[in-house]
């Protein structure tokens, strides 16, 4: 090593402002010496002025890490995990937000942003509709509009809502008074030092050297990194945010995909509703699309569990119709006429049995209420493909007088969805029957359930793709 190279190294040691930088430089000596031996001409052709790195190079190195770090940190603070550390598994956003609006706490105590609330009557100027559906004053209010972003201020020139960058970002490579992204003037320290001080440092006018800036401790200075008391820019236990952790060396890394987080699972260092199909509430009926569980349209109507439930148009694994009924006409309230007895089976199981030997709703109808027609018959949960069997029979006892057989038309209704299936539009018209008192089955039909399912086309919202840094 020649004398000039030795002097340059001595100046670098003198400029070290922290133990961490000292260790880094010492550890890199063998590697730097190897580079110097291999390429001496290039090393000597571009010596750094005053033994310090080129400021443009330093700014370029830090700009990429600083970019976007503030927004991620604010989002991490807002969605900070509370229940996950105790082993709590958070409900899906759809479950938490059902019947709610605005910011709502999920089952783990974490705030989840649901759809905006709408108050009636609408809120006035500088008011916002709260989760209690009440208008409340908002702060700040810029140009008569509520600012909903965290840490928002009113822009100095236009008065519009604005979220300022951190002082570290504003003052990086700058000195003196500097306007931030919202037009606010920030004091970036003395301009005596040349070149300007690095992030987390400030210029000491007396010595002309860069020293740690106590006012910036805890401020964001990089990707999940904050300024430390010794002037370093590094992460700590909380700065990396949800789904990331601070690794050795002071940089953030992603936790393993699939770990539970505030609103679902970690995926590429971001807390999403899902990272894979298996993370969705009904993986047989849903798919994971860019971190959100959506309906798998190709699975609608498929059996999704051992109980025979099928995938619904909303992505649920449930009955095709949870509250099916059989009515005597196209209206869900149409009564059923039968002369005399009736049995209804679903997949071979009897769900309705009438053997009172009396005509229900026949014409002419006796005044006794026992001759009233049957109201629609409840079947409960049914699925497409189920088989409904309907059996109508004559009375086994001769009650005297004329004997008839009659059965009304049949329609299958699903009140939950509004779907209607015509089973038999004719039924069995009223017909004289001389062989009375023999219990003859005059109607025995089977019908396969084929209720129309209202499929919703999947509408993929335009989402800004998140850049995920996988390490």
Q: What is the pLDDT of residue 460?
A: 38
For residue 58, give Cα distances in angstroms to 11, 54, 248, 433, 449.
Answer: 18, 6, 22, 102, 71
Q: What is the per-residue pLDDT for 369?
A: 67
Q: Which residues of 434-456 are buried (b: 16+ CB within 10 A; e: fewer)?
A: eebeeeeebbeeebebebebeee
What is the DSSP track for 37-87? HH-HHHHHHSPPGGGS--HHHHHHHHHHHHTTHHHHHHHHHHT--SSGGGT
φ/ψ (deg, to 5) at 374: -75, 140
Contact assessment for residue 391 and residue 441, using Cβ atoms and an 8 Å cutoff: yes
- Distance of alpha carbon 344 from alpha carbon 313, whole angstroms: 28
What residues are paired with 416 via a beta bridge?
none
pLDDT at 21: 44
pLDDT score for 87: 59
Per-residue tens of pLDDT for the chain, all 471 residues: 455 555 555 555 444 444 444 444 444 444 444 434 444 433 343 444 444 444 454 444 444 444 444 444 444 444 443 334 455 777 777 778 877 888 788 888 777 778 888 888 888 899 888 877 889 898 899 998 899 888 899 998 888 999 988 888 888 778 889 898 898 888 888 888 888 888 888 888 888 899 998 888 988 888 899 999 999 999 998 899 889 999 988 999 999 998 888 778 999 999 999 999 999 989 999 999 989 999 999 888 788 887 778 888 888 888 888 889 999 999 999 999 988 889 999 999 999 998 887 777 776 666 666 678 889 999 988 988 899 999 998 877 766 666 778 889 999 999 988 899 999 999 998 887 766 557 788 899 999 999 886 543 333 333 333 334 333
Report how far residue 51's alpha carbon sits from residue 299's, in angstroms, rounded to the nearest whole number.
66
Q: Can you point out the beta strands (E) in 348-440?
A: 349-354, 377-382, 387-393, 404-407, 410-414, 419-424, 428-432
At 348 the pLDDT is: 93
């Amino acid at each position: 090593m020649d004398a000039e190279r030795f002097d340059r190294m001595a100046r670098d040691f003198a400029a070290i402002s922290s133990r961490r930088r000292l260790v880094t430089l010492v550890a890199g000596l063998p590697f730097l010496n190897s580079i110097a031996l291999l390429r001496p001409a290039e090393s000597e052709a571009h010596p750094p002025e005053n033994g310090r790195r080129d400021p443009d190079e330093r700014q370029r190195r830090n700009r990429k890490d600083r970019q976007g770090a503030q927004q991620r940190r604010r989002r991490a603070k807002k969605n900070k995990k509370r229940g996950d550390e105790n082993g709590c598994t958070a409900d899906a956003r759809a479950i938490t937000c059902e019947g709610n609006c605005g910011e709502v706490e999920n089952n783990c105590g974490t705030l989840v942003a649901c759809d905006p609330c709408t108050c009636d009557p609408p809120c006035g100027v500088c008011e916002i509709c709260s989760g209690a559906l009440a208008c409340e004053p908002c702060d700040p209010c810029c140009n008569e509009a509520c600012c909903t972003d965290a840490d928002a201020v009113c822009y100095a020139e236009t008065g519009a809502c604005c979220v300022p960058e951190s002082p570290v970002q504003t003052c990086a490579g700058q000195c003196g008074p500097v306007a931030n992204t919202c037009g606010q003037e920030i004091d970036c320290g003395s301009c005596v030092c040349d070149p300007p001080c690095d992030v987390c440092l400030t210029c000491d006018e007396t010595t002309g050297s860069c020293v740690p800036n106590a006012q910036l401790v805890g401020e964001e200075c990089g990707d999940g990194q904050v300024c430390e008391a010794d002037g370093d820019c590094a992460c700590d236990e909380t700065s990396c945010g949800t789904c990331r952790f601070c690794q050795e060396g002071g940089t953030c890394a992603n936790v393993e995909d699939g770990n539970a987080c505030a609103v679902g699972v970690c995926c590429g260092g971001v807390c999403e509703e899902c990272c894979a199909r298996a993370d969705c509430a009904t993986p047989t009926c849903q798919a994971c699309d860019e971190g959100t569980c959506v309906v798998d349209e190709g699975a609608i109507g498929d059996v999704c569990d051992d109980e025979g439930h099928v995938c619904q148009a909303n992505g649920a694994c449930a009955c095709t119709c949870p509250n099916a009924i059989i009515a005597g006409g196209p209206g869900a309230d149409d009564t059923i006429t039968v002369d005399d007895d009736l049995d209804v089976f679903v997949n071979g199981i009897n769900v309705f049995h009438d053997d009172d030997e009396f005509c229900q709703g026949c014409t002419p109808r006796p005044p006794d209420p026992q001759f009233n027609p049957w109201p629609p018959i409840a079947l409960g949960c049914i699925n497409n493909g189920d088989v409904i069997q309907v059996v109508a029979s004559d009375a086994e006892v001769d009650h005297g007088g004329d004997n008839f057989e009659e059965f009304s038309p049949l329609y299958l209704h699903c009140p939950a969805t509004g779907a209607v299936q015509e089973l038999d539009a004719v039924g069995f018209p009223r017909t004289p029957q001389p062989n009375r008192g023999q219990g003859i089955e005059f109607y025995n039909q089977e019908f396969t359930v084929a209720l129309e399912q209202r499929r919703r086309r999947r509408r993929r919202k335009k989402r800004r793709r998140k850049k995920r840094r996988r390490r």
